[in-house]
Amino acid sequence: MLNYLFRRLNLLFITAFILSVIAFILTYWSSKNTLADADAGYIIQYVKYMSAILQGEWGLSSIDQQPMLIKGLTAFASTLELCFIAFITANIIAIPLGIFAGLNRNSLLDYLIMTIALIGLALPVFWLAVITTMLPRLLGIPLPIDGGISPVFEIPVVSGFILLDTLLAADTYQLDAFFNRLAHLILPSSVLSLFLITEIIRLTRHSITMVMKSNYVKAAYAKGLSRKEIVFRHVLKNALPPIIHQLRLQLSTIISFAMVIEIVFSLQGSGVWLLSSIKEGDYLALPTAILIISGFILLSSIFIDILLMIISPIKRKSLYVD
């Protein structure tokens, strides 16, 4: 177990080192005129930079003199919130659809579901987001299309996850602010979840098909189990790990799509933050965003690995390989 963790962490350190070098180069390039000891060697400066980063001193924003780290984390929390909502929605919708398609492979239902999934795959997210901003007006649904929460509500930033913060501020606004935030998230997360739905349907369908072909399922049929029992007892459990594994690879795509969608919907988050910082010439936001976002992706991919190891016996084998 320790051996395995050590191997994973090893990979983490190498990747983190490369990322920190990129971040350092960006920082150096954006603020070389303001560095105190610009004459010192690159290595000394890098060491100093890293020690400052590790102590949490990520520099100040040139726009409002606020600490970069806090700004970056707050913005990223909002992006994560969007991703999370979209992820939940997508799972609720896509996993059942994928299972149906996988179980009834090459049936009319399968073709129908896969057609929808392919259409979803073919639509560019940016275009879809722009079209979605027109939907409320066309359909007459009173949904907001701009911003993260109505400016009527002043929500103090506690966790950065605005849904949580609105609940914490429930003394002032009851649940109005919470529902307002939720309403603001519906359209952006629908767009983001469409991409995820497509992805999850395809993965689930494939995974279910594979499992259904396997010998133990055939054996289960031979044992006389009903189809329902087979699906719930054997198929689902074994189909899940490959899906999680594949979704891990999509994590960075999801986050970058979320950032694009944020910009279309003016939803405060890392996409909007990064864009406006660059527009205002606050280039320190670039390395900050690289470190935060890639750091998150690295950590979560390791976390998912460990999770897979716990739930999947096949993966667990890798524990004992030296």
Partner 1 sequence: MRFLFAFTITLLLSGCYKNESTLTDSLIYCPENTPQSFNPQISHDISTLDATTHQLYNRLVKIDPITKQFIPDLATHWQQNDNKSSYTFFLRKDVNFHQTDYFTPTRFFNADDVIFSFQRMLDKDHPFHSVNRVTDSYFFNHPFTNLVADIIKIDDYTVKFILNKADVTLLANLAAHYGVIHSEQYAQNLLSKGHPERIDFYPIGTGPYKFKNYEIKGITRYLSHPQYWGGRPTITNLIFDVTPNNTKRYAKLLSGECDIMTYPAPSQLNTMSVNPSVVLSSIPTANVALWSFNSVKKPFKQKEIRQALSYAIDQKTIVNAVFFKSATATDTLLAKQSWAYNPRSAELQYTPQLALQMLKENGFDFNNIITILTPIDHSVFNPNSHKTAELIQANLFDIGVSSEIISLPHSELEMRLASGNYDTYLTGIDVHIKDPDSLFRPLLSCDATILEGNSSQWCSPEVQDLLDSTLLEPNFIKRIKNYYQLQDIVQQERPYYPIAHVLRFDAFNQNISGLHVNALTGIDFQNVRKIEAQ
Binding site for partner 1 (CB under 8 A): 63-64, 89, 92-93, 96-97, 133-134, 136-137, 141-147, 150-152, 154, 175-176, 179-180, 182-183, 186, 190, 266, 268, 272, 276, 279, 281
Nearer to partner 1, 94 or 309 (CB): 94
The smaller minimum CB distance to partner 1, of residues 21 and 143, is found at: 143
Task: Select 123 or 186, whichever has its Cβ closest to partner 1.
Answer: 186
Contacts of 319 (CB under 8 A, 6+ apart): 1, 3, 4, 309
314, with CB counted inside 10 A (0-12, 13-18, 19+), is: exposed
Pick between residue 152 and residue 310 the one whose CB is nearest to partner 1.
152
Q: Of 53 and 113, which has the nearer Cβ to partner 1?
A: 113
Q: What's the closest the beta carbon of residue 203 comes to partner 1, in angstroms?
A: 17
Q: Give rounded-to-5 percent helix, strand, coil for the chain.
A: 80, 0, 20
Taking the complex as a whole, how short is the minimal distance between the CB of residue 155 and partner 1, in angstroms?
Answer: 11
Q: How far is the CB of 311 from partner 1 (least distance, A)?
A: 25
- What is the smallest separation between the CB atom of 198 and partner 1, expressed in angstroms? 12
**DSSP secondary structure of 139-201:** HT-----SSSS-TT-----SSS-HHHHHHHTHHHHTTHHHHHHHHHHHHHHHHHHHHHHHHHH
Closest to partner 1 by CB, 115 vs 150, is 150
What is the DSSP code string of 22-89? HHHHHHHHHSTTT-TTTTS-HHHHHHHHHHHHHTT---B-TTT--BHHHHHHHHHHHHHHHHHHHHHH
Give me the least distance between CB of 243 and partner 1, in Å please: 18
We find the least distance from the C-beta atom of residue 124 to partner 1, in angstroms, to be: 19
- Coil, strand, or helix at residue 268? coil
Beta bridge partners of 67: 60
